[in-house]
Amino acid sequence: MIRINIASKRFGDRILFKNYTLSICENDFVVLTGPSGVGKSSLLNIIGLLDNDYSGYYQIFNNEVEFKSYKSTVLIRRKYFGYIFQDSLINERQSIIRNLLCSVDYPQLSEARKHITHILKLVGLPNSNCLASLLSGGEKQRLALARALIKHPRILLADEPTASLDAENKIKVMNILKDFHKNGGTVIMITHDVGLITPDMKVINIA
């Protein structure tokens, strides 16, 4: 599904990756682990086509991505990927629903609105116009999950999705990710919490 070769990737004066190859199959649940600062988030951004500042190549579903074509790259991101960032990036001045729909392109808005109740129920949140500022930290992270899922992505990228959550919310978030995977989706997740890793997951340790 995804094949990447990073001939060289720098961060400032440091070389994060050199002659690094990565293959991800459809319906994999991939976990990226390793010490802080080794480049896990950088690699996740490369996988999600958010970072093309490296030498190498990138293939998705046997098609090579042409980084010089910004429009083409954006279309691929929209078509395949859902993103859950380490900071949930929830706009507290907006309602739950406005936050949920902010990642949806205008032509898909009417279709996305039909799924609001289902998606929010899936992540255990009310179908509400209340402000996101009233949500707890765990609820905001689940809203970020819902925001990624409402686009019906084939690939879900999650950067420390359970960081700073209590045990109950960790379980809720992981159950949502596992259900997405069980239903045919591909998950690529960064975590430092080895307790979340199960035998069916593909672990890639970045040293």
Alpha helices in 13-83 (DSSP H): 40-47, 70-80
Question: In the CATH scheme, what is the homologous superfamily, with its name and number, of domain 2-205?
Answer: P-loop containing nucleotide triphosphate hydrolases (3.40.50.300)
pLDDT at 163: 86
Q: What is the mean pLDDT of the chain?
A: 92
pLDDT digits (tens, 9 = 90+) for 45-96: 999 999 999 999 999 999 999 887 888 899 999 999 999 987 778 999 999 9
Q: Is the four-CA dihedral 86, 96, 71, 181 of positive or negative sign?
A: positive
For the ranges 9-13, 79-83, 176-180, 200-204, the lowest mean pLDDT is seen at 9-13
What is the phi-psi region of residue 7: left when phi exceeds 0, alpha when psi lies from -120 to 50, beta otherwise?
alpha
